[in-house]
Each structure stands twice: as structure tokens, then as C-alpha cells.
Structure 1
Amino acid sequence: MDQKYALLYIGAILVTMTGYCYGKVLTVTSTADDDNTLLSVVQVFRHGERTPILFYPTDPYQNSSYWDGLGTGQLTKRGKQQLLELGQYFRSRYSDFLSTAYVEDEIFVNTVSGKRNLESAESFLVGLYPDQNTSSIPIHQTSPAILGSLAECLRYDLLYAKQEAEEGYFKDVNEENSDTYDYIRENSLLPVYELLTANSIWDTLNIENIFNYTLPEWTESVFPEKLTNLTNVFALSLCYTEEQQRLITGVFLNELINTFKSAIAEPSSSQKVHLYSAHDVNLACFLNTFDSFTPHMPHFASSIIFELKESKTAYYINAYYKPEDEAIPITLRGCDFNCKLEDFTSLFSDMLITEVQWIMKCFTPL
């Protein structure tokens, strides 16, 4: 393993040892201008806590009775509460920007397909508008292209498989952990051979650990440390190349820029807030694309916030990553924290694609 990749792997291990940390985190003491004006906010958040997506064959907690009768991959009560609290945070943060009661022309709510994402968006709205019945607020299902659905892009799947088989860094990690994979496979009876399946085991054990269930004795030698290290590397692998980043983030970045341009050109006819209920892989890919990523799998209910502001001299973007309690300022590809909209557009020009281009790329052979 050469020095560059060794440092990345060491970084992933340090995340496990020291807790979650984030690349290029800033301490911001001033804004672009004392009388800057907030024009638009876009937030992408991960759904709340869910039940495991899969159970390995020897898992002692497969019965739905352990999960309040819920099936696999379903939003839990705590997951709903997490999103309600995120909505409360958003209300507190933007109390002077967003009306107390729902106004159709102010906010647009999007979700990827899936029950847990829809329920997460619903819970967010309950926290955002505590004094009204939010069941009638429309939540729009976004197209698979907007947030780069991995499951619906054949080209991405082929690129990922090729990367895991041929990219030196990931080959080295898999080879160095072959004994760990063998051990997990023998005890779980799940065919664990590489990062993707190792992450699946980590996800299940992590959720069961959150629920304070006693994990099988065999897991003690691999969880949390070894499997968390591998999951951190898996998070990096999701959008490791520019082509992967373009497929997962390109359409959204195009939408983001157009949303902000509309807020400038037609403020009276553009919604002030756009919300997206998404997945951990989306947040990991955004942070990787922004060069603001220390590899880790984003928490349940974590989010990325983009703010468009106007100063006396320019329009600029502030970006924040909110992993848990507080939103942490981040830079976007080395642009200043107060990143001019024109600079942001230029920096990501090589990433921007339309929905039609996404469809064409996703089904074009390698």
C-alpha cells in the first residue's frame, strides 16, 4: 500500500479511535458582510434511525418482536423523534426567515423513494410547524436522478465493481482484511468478501448495539473497531472518483445552483426553503465531492445545509455539515467559507449534469 493510501486508511482508523471528525472544518468568526441577507436555504438530511436492512443467518435478533413488529429497514420511533428534533432545530435556526405557519410559496419538500424517507420528512415537518396539523403539507417524490440513486444507475454499479476489483487501495484493504472476512463469514454465515458486505454486517451490529442488545461473543474481536474501520473505507469508496461523484451529486448540484439563481432573479416566485430526505450515501458523496470528508458513515438524521446570502458586493454560499447537535461550517473544494456563487458554479462545472444526461450516462456501457 503506497503512502497516499496508507494515510487514508490511517485516517479512517483515527475516526474510529477518536470519534467522528470531519475534513476541513472551520471556525468562522465573521461573515462576508455585517448586513448580509439570507435569500435561500437548501438542506439535505439522512432519514432517522431504522431497523437493520438485513440480518445475517446466525443473527439472534431476526424476529420482528425485537423491533416493535417493524420489518427490515423501517423507521423506528426514535428515528421519527430524531427528525422531529431536526425540524425543531431548523425552526430555531431560521425563525426570522421562515413563517411560523406553513406557506406553500415558502417551502418545497422532496424525498427519495422509500417509506422511511417519507416518514422522516413527515416527522421533520411536525418539528418545523409544531402548532399545526402538517399531514396536508405536500411531500414530493424526487426523481432518481436528483440525488443520484445508486440502485437505478447501472453504470455506477459497474464502476463500483470494477473499482473494488482493480483499484490498488481497495484491493490492498480487502487483501489485508481477508482473515477478518473469513472469520465473519464463518460465524455469520453471510458471504462477506469485501467492503460492501463488511459494511452490511457493521450496519446490523451497529443498530443492535444502539438498541443495547447483547451481541454474540464472536463479534467482540471485530466490532466495533475492525468493522468500523472497514465501513469508513467503504464510505470513501462510494464516490472515490470524479465519475462516481458526477453520477451521484451532479444533478443535485445543478439543481442547487439553479435554485439559488432563481432566488436571485425571481425572489417573489421562488420557494425560500428546499428540503431533501435522503440517505447516508448521499451525504458521504457530497462531502467527498466537496473535499470536506474524513471517511465515515454519516449518522442517522445528519444533514448538509446550504445558505445563499447577499452582501453589498456579492452573492455567496455558506455550507454546513450537521452530524449531531451543531452545524459545522465546511469549505467547498477549497473555496472560502463565504464562497461566491459564481466561484461555486465554476468549481463544480465539471460535475454538473442534467437529468437527461444522468439517464444516458447511467445506461451507457463502460
Structure 2
Amino acid sequence: MRKLWTKTGIFVSVSIACGSALWWRQWKANGGSKSSPYQLKLVQVLFRHGARTPLKSIPDVLEAQWVPTLLEPPGHTHINHVVTDLDGGPRPPSPLEDSYRKKKLSGGVFAGQLTTLGMQQLYELGERLRRRYVQEVPFLSSTFCPNEVYVRSTNIIRTIESARCLVAGLFQQKQKEIVPILTTDAESEILYPNYHGCRLLRMLSNPRFKEVSLLPHMVADLKSIRSELGISAKSDVDFVLIRDDMVARETHGLPCPPALPAWRNRVEQRAVDMMFYCYQPSKRENLQLCVGPLLHMLLVNIDEKLQGTSSEPNRKLFLYSAHDTTLIPCLMALGIFDMKWPPYASDITLELHEHKRTKEPFVKVSYMGQDQLIPGCSGLYCPLQEFQNVLSAYSLNGDLYQSLCNSTGDSSKL
């Protein structure tokens, strides 16, 4: 396990180093922090949790052995933290987490648990953020300060633990106070498409999931892979499920069914095709309900920073610990989805800059450390008005979101 962890850590570190080197060259091209025309004002990071156990095993095939030693937390990922609701009260109940705890995998652990490797991945993401925002640009304090940093997670253990590990890497376990990790109840969660809490989203999405599974190429490929793997026609399986188990095994060096590697690329492609079909931007109302409230929150954070109306005027960093099903529709709304599944510990980072001379606000977006030119923006540093226009098609404030969610499907308001 340690050899696997070391090899994976080297690969991730090399990838991060390449991304940092590219950014450093771009930063130096602007003359460094002293001569750059922009001043960094706010950073928001939306990230996927680290490597985990599968949510479900592929039926009718030999299961991987998910043993407890794969979940041991590295000592350097520990911090003194507390998990609360959004108001600082007790952590709400988590029906989703409860459902995972009912699924014991072969080897003795539960479905959807963050592994040692996943904890290390988030720690390394924190280290990358430290290099950028503490060392290369002196933006954040080197020690965690709650008035500077806001940490929110979905109310699921793997994302909560991922947030903890990222903060440990970002601040090297140095903290002035306990780190609060905020969560909310399942009904009001906006950090993933909330099929439980939004009736209209459920009404719109269920038919699309059924439609995509009946497309001729999907049916043909799924029939072939069922035959190759020996999956019974009675077993409920799709490409997303197969991919999830396959990638979890590969990431942790556990054996896959012998016939599966030959299908790897096709499984990956079809799983992405399924998600794109269900979330695709041309179905505006569906994508709005998936990430509209989240996008609105990101824009509000920017506006409050610029207007000086934030309840925490010294806040510089928002961290949001979420899922692949969060990042995919966000990337689509931004127009930068590359038709590849977001890997474990991937991140979308939004930087708010102010032009030093004109005081105009700009937003710069990066994905996994690489700057992105957003369609509809006139440059990497996107004028805020242009950025707001890009997201206006999908952003939803809370009241409108709730009104639509409780409606019976009249999407003419969208």
C-alpha cells in the first residue's frame, strides 16, 4: 500500500508542479506581484473529495477486498476541527451517509469512504494552494484564521474529511483556533444537484436518465460489456456504476475483472456521455436547478467583497468540499467541460482581482491548476460584468430556486 501511495503521490506532485510552474511563468510575465496590474482580493475553491471506496460494486463479478488498513488517516492530515450546521449548531443528520453505512463492501469497510490515498490527495491540493496563496503570493496568513477562511462541506463524511485534509495541507496543521467545517441538512443542500430537496429537478431528471439508458449505442455497449463480464440481465447496472468501481480499484491498485481493462476507455466515454446527456447546457432548466443556487452564492461572495458588506470583512478564502456531480454541471455552466470525468481531488478555483489603476473587478478561473478562458469572456482576466453575464443563464437566487423546485414543472419562468 505504501508503495502505491508513494507512486501516486509522485505522479500527483509532478502534475501539481507542472501546473504551478506554468502559473509561475505567467505571473512572472506580468512582472510579479509588485508590477502586476491586478491585486488579488478573494479566492473561492470548489473541489471534489479524494479517492474513496466505491459506492457500489459491479454485480456478479469478483469483488475487490476493501480492508480497513486502506482507510488509516496519515498523521499529517489531522487538525483540530468541529463539524457544525451553517449557524454553528450541531451537525445535522445525514440520510445519504446513513445509506452508505448500510452498504458493507467485501473486506469490511463501508461504501463511499475516503481512503488513506484520498486523504493524501487532498493534503497535496492544500499544499498547492499554500504555494500559490501563502508562499508565491503573500495573500493568506500562514496559520489558519477563521476570519480569513470559510470552510463548507456537503454533510457526508468523505467530503468533511477531505476538507480537513486540505486545510491541514494548506496551513501545515498550524491553527490559531479550531477549524469549523460547516454543513447543512439534506433538504437545503446546494453543493450538489439536490434531487431529494428539489421536486422539479427530480421530475426533469428522472426521464432523462431513463432516456439515455435507452439510446441505441448505450444499449448495445452495455449488452456487450454485460456479456464480457458475466453480469446477469437481471442485475441493475449502468456505465456510471461500472466506472465508479473500476476507477476506485485502479486508483488503489486492486484487481479488476480480467475482461474490464479492454473496455476501460469505452466505459469512461459512456459514463461521461450519460452525465452530459442528463446535465447538458441546452436543457437550461435542468442545469439551473443542478447548480443555480451554488453559482449564485459564488457571485454573492464576490459582490459582498467588492461592496464591503460581508459579515467577515477580512475573509479571503472560501473552500467548498463537494463531488464530481457538483463539478461536472459547474464546468458545463462555465462552458469549459472537457468531456472528461473530474478526477479525485480536482478543483475549480475562482479568483477575484481588482485592477490597481482603474479599480475594475476581474475574475480568473482555473481548473486543476490550469487557467481557463471562459467562453463569453474577453480574456483570462474576465471583466466581472462579462463573468456575471456568462453565469446569468444558470444562476438562481434562493427564493426563485425554492419557488421553481416546488412547482409542478412550469419551466416558462426560467
Aligned counterpart for 1:307 among listed residues 344, 351, 356: 351
Which structure 1 segments of 5+ residues have no match? 1-25
What is the 5 A alignment of 1:83-122? Answer: 83-95=122-134, 96-122=138-164
Displacement of 1:208 in angstroms is: 1.2
| 8 Å Cα contact 1:238/1:285 also seen in 2 | no
Which residue matches 1:340? Answer: 383
Which residue matches 2:221? Answer: 180
| 8 Å Cα contact 2:193/2:325 also seen in 1 | no
Question: Quick one: distance in 1 between partners of 2:327 and 2:30?
Answer: 25
| 8 Å Cα contact 1:185/1:191 also seen in 2 | no
SS at match of 1:177: helix
Displacement of 1:62 in angstroms is: 5.3
1:353 counterpart = 2:393: no
Which residue matches 1:283? Answer: 327
| Residues 268-294 of structure 1: CA deviation (Å, up to 9, x unaligned) | 725110000000111111111111112
| Residues 127-167 of structure 1: CA deviation (Å, up to 9, x unaligned) | 1111426892001114413544344333223222333455x
What is the 5 A alignment of 1:1-366? Answer: 34-61=36-63, 63-65=65-67, 68=70, 69-95=108-134, 96-132=138-174, 136-142=178-184, 143-165=188-210, 170=212, 174-186=215-227, 187-189=230-232, 197-222=238-263, 224-240=264-280, 241-266=283-308, 269-311=313-355, 312-313=357-358, 314-322=360-368, 327-335=369-377, 336-366=379-409
Which residue matches 1:9? Answer: none
Which structure 2 segments of 5+ residues have no match? 1-22, 71-107, 410-414
TM-score by length of 2: 0.73
| Residues 249-305 of structure 1: CA deviation (Å, up to 9, x unaligned) | 211221111111111121772511000000011111111111111212100000000
| 8 Å Cα contact 1:145/1:358 also seen in 2 | no
| 8 Å Cα contact 2:145/2:175 also seen in 1 | no
| Residues 61-97 of structure 1: CA deviation (Å, up to 9, x unaligned) | 2554387442110000000000011111111110110
Question: Quick one: distance in 2 between partners of 1:190 and 1:77?
Answer: 35
TM-score by length of 1: 0.82
| Residues 159-216 of structure 1: CA deviation (Å, up to 9, x unaligned) | 22333455xxx478x31232322234452237578xx821111110121122223322
Displacement of 1:49 in angstroms is: 0.3
User: For the aligned residues, what is the CA RMSD?
Assistant: 2.7
Question: Quick one: distance in 2 between partners of 1:66 and 1:179?
Answer: 38
Which residue matches 1:15? Answer: none
Which structure is richer in relative contact order (CA contacts within 8 A, separation 6 or more)?
A: 1
What amino acid maps onto 2:182 in structure 1?
Answer: H
Q: How many residues of Structure 1 are paired with residues of Structure 2 in the alignment?
A: 330
Question: Quick one: distance in 2 between partners of 1:261 and 1:46?
Answer: 25
Identical counterparts, % of pairs: 24
| 8 Å Cα contact 1:51/1:75 also seen in 2 | yes
Question: Quick one: distance in 2 between partners of 1:214 and 1:273?
Answer: 40
Question: Quick one: distance in 2 between partners of 1:331 and 1:164?
Answer: 31
Bigger Cα displacement from structure 2, 49-58 vs 125-134: 125-134
Displacement of 1:354 in angstroms is: 1.8
Bigger Cα displacement from structure 2, 254-263 vs 233-242: 233-242
What amino acid maps onto 2:221 in structure 1?
Answer: T
Bigger Cα displacement from structure 2, 56-65 vs 116-125: 56-65
Task: Summarize the Cα distance change of 1:60–1:165 in structure 2 as closer, same or farther, 3 Å threshold.
Answer: closer
Displacement of 1:358 in angstroms is: 2.0
